[in-house]
Structure 1
């Protein structure tokens, strides 16, 4: 097969919606035609998902997805599959980002070419990739260059026991980033915990967990995505305007993240509205779990019997048992408290006028730990039924 002729044919199929907006993400591909094809497909997919997100999450219902967007997204998926097959033995062979690969495959199962499509229940909002490539060159590596150095002004936006958090504007990427820098007076163990936080976050890949990019050993700092505000700030600013449906949507995003965290054998241990961050996308709200400084890792030596009790949503019983005894039942307690805060906008648990929420809270905070929810999925099932 003549690859150049094949690519020309693909290009002509998508010329009607040609876009070079994401071409810079695909400079690693030597073929100019492939760069514009990937940029155009990236743009087409983003537009389809931006429209789909206005219908998501579907929670316990289904939702209609318009005919034109259904056809466009299905066209993009089929074209990507064909490109992968035709280019698999060439120097332009490529794979898909893992998250997008899963989302595209899921969409393929329900998209229709005629009459629109029915989005199934319990489908979450799609995280749109604006600065991350969807198409990944096989057998490639990105090398950071030290030829040029850019310096950006930092603005302090937060400070905790171990670190300060700054934001800055990157002119090259044309967007804001956050930088987390360890305090200079940390002891050796505290620095190890700070590095472990980055390591754990870097190993996780989930749309509702904050993304980190690079660790600087010289300054004990790392770069991560910038989000607009904490969950606490968002709730305080919007408490009188949020519908129960919107509140449940945030709950499902956070619980989805914790389901993933627990599947990795990890416990967060510092669950609070300050450690959930919010990103606003033209009215669409995405919640992301952050601050893994107290994460409990299997077989880790960083948790000792005298570890200080932290996390103001944590089970008070831990003050007696010791923080090192933290287990799933304590994580469930903190998550229940957090869900109550999101559903009601209150931290004071009393006089709950919604019987379903009252029942949910009593089980999750039960003094007899054996009566609490066994896992996050049980919590999700109960919240779905709250009206």
Structure 2
């Protein structure tokens, strides 16, 4: 879909129906796209006007009440445009969020509104709160931050995402630093939200220079702020593989292993080890490694670790496909770490035809199909890695 053309088509539909009204334009001044800004302003006006009319019939008793045909059709049209825009602009730079109260209200109205003959308002429906000074819509590419006594709004830039969340970066002008925001997607189930929040809680409890630092969790938006890193491991090696010294590779590998020594000392298993979840920050005098993405972390006796957790990633032990991801243990973690160490030292993922005998022995032990012959814990990986 051509996003610009889609926004234009929705804008023209509102213009044709005379529904673009500038009354609430000041609430949407931060929306950069002019016509999207006018659309959201017009939709806000429509909702306030139509729900004000609906309030004349509210609250309802146990029998409900009749809502007139014309405003029913107008409200259906506004809801269709809103939901269409919301879904079509997801994961684009024009993505926006809908206030939770209005989002639930819109979904409720969609269930009972009728395009002909008027609509039956549900029984025991309360009067609707009308937003005169608060926006119904908010750009997904902004974050509001309260620093000391002042509030600031910063533009977000989408830098990544997955099935659970989108990841943005922004420049905080108060601290003059770049931060990262990880925001859960709206459609997550309650259990998925709990897993997302648990990821923050786990990272927040860690205290290690090799674990990505997180700062605060926003319950209302289900999002949290964390430190900004310069590269993922795969980005850094892809860009610098030909020029990296062996000593640099060993330093990166040793930091990764220190991180996992610490993680395992806390009784945790990461379970999603990959070059995308290992981050690097370049300082003037040193390259620092930090581990991120603890969404699949395994905690003893946790009800959020299930049989149906998806096996994913080239670096994971393929035996998990048959054994089930719920069987994941330290031997699977040392398997993945062996692959990561090989990747760090060589820039390669294919472990065939290794000419260095010490490295070949290290890889064969770490990836041995017989789990009893593998590295039994991270400490064993560390000892063998030092000898390479």
**1:178 corresponding residue in structure 2:** 180
Q: In terms of Rg, which structure is larger?
A: 2
TM-score normalised by the chain length of structure 1: 0.62
Across the aligned residues of Structure 1 and Structure 2, the Cα RMSD in angstroms comes to 1.2
**1:318 corresponding residue in structure 2:** 320
Q: How does 1:214-253 map to 2 (within 5 A)?
A: 214-253=216-255
State the secondary structure of the residue aligned to 2:280: strand
Deviates more, 1:211-220 or 1:368-377: 368-377
| 2:330 is equivalent to residue 328 of structure 1 | yes
> What is the distance in 2 between the residues matched to 1:180 and 1:257?
22
State the secondary structure of the residue aligned to 2:290: strand
**Which residue of the other structure, out of 280, 289, 292, is the alignment partner of 1:290?**
292
**Which residue of the other structure, out of 211, 214, 224, is the alignment partner of 1:212?**
214
> What is the distance in 2 between the residues matched to 1:166 and 1:145?
19
Contact 2:195/2:295, CA 8 A, preserved across alignment: yes
Contact 2:147/2:174, CA 8 A, preserved across alignment: no
**1:363 corresponding residue in structure 2:** 365
> What is the distance in 2 between the residues matched to 1:283 and 1:237?
19
**1:277 corresponding residue in structure 2:** 279
State the secondary structure of the residue aligned to 1:151: strand
Q: How does 1:81-96 map to 2 (within 5 A)?
A: none
**1:340 corresponding residue in structure 2:** 342
Measured against aligned partners, the alpha-carbon deviations of 1:284-304 in whole angstroms (never above 9, x if no partner) come to 211110000000011100111
State the secondary structure of the residue aligned to 2:160: strand
Measured against aligned partners, the alpha-carbon deviations of 1:136-165 in whole angstroms (never above 9, x if no partner) come to xxxxxxxx8774211100001111121111
State the secondary structure of the residue aligned to 2:180: strand
Tell me how far 1:229 sits from its aligned partner.
1.2
Contact 2:180/2:228, CA 8 A, preserved across alignment: yes
> What is the distance in 2 between the residues matched to 1:160 and 1:356?
37
> What is the distance in 1 between the residues matched to 2:200 and 2:268?
14
Measured against aligned partners, the alpha-carbon deviations of 1:308-334 in whole angstroms (never above 9, x if no partner) come to 112331000000000011000000100
> What is the distance in 2 between the residues matched to 1:245 and 1:379?
18
State the secondary structure of the residue aligned to 2:153: coil
Q: How does 1:178-197 map to 2 (within 5 A)?
A: 178-197=180-199
> What is the distance in 2 between the residues matched to 1:161 and 1:344?
31
**2:3 corresponding residue in structure 1:** none
> What is the distance in 2 between the residues matched to 1:215 and 1:329?
33
**1:169 corresponding residue in structure 2:** 171
State the secondary structure of the residue aligned to 1:205: coil
Contact 1:162/1:190, CA 8 A, preserved across alignment: yes
Tell me how far 1:385 sits from its aligned partner.
1.3
Figure out how many residues of one structure are paired with residues of the other and give that number: 243
> What is the distance in 1 between the residues matched to 2:263 and 2:227?
19
Tell me how far 1:306 sits from its aligned partner.
1.5
Measured against aligned partners, the alpha-carbon deviations of 1:342-365 in whole angstroms (never above 9, x if no partner) come to 011001111111111110000000
Tell me how far 1:227 sits from its aligned partner.
0.3
- Runs of 5+ consecutive residues of structure 1 not aligned to the other structure: 1-143
> What is the distance in 1 between the residues matched to 2:271 and 2:371?
16
> What is the distance in 1 between the residues matched to 2:148 and 2:385?
50
> What is the distance in 1 between the residues matched to 2:148 and 2:380?
50
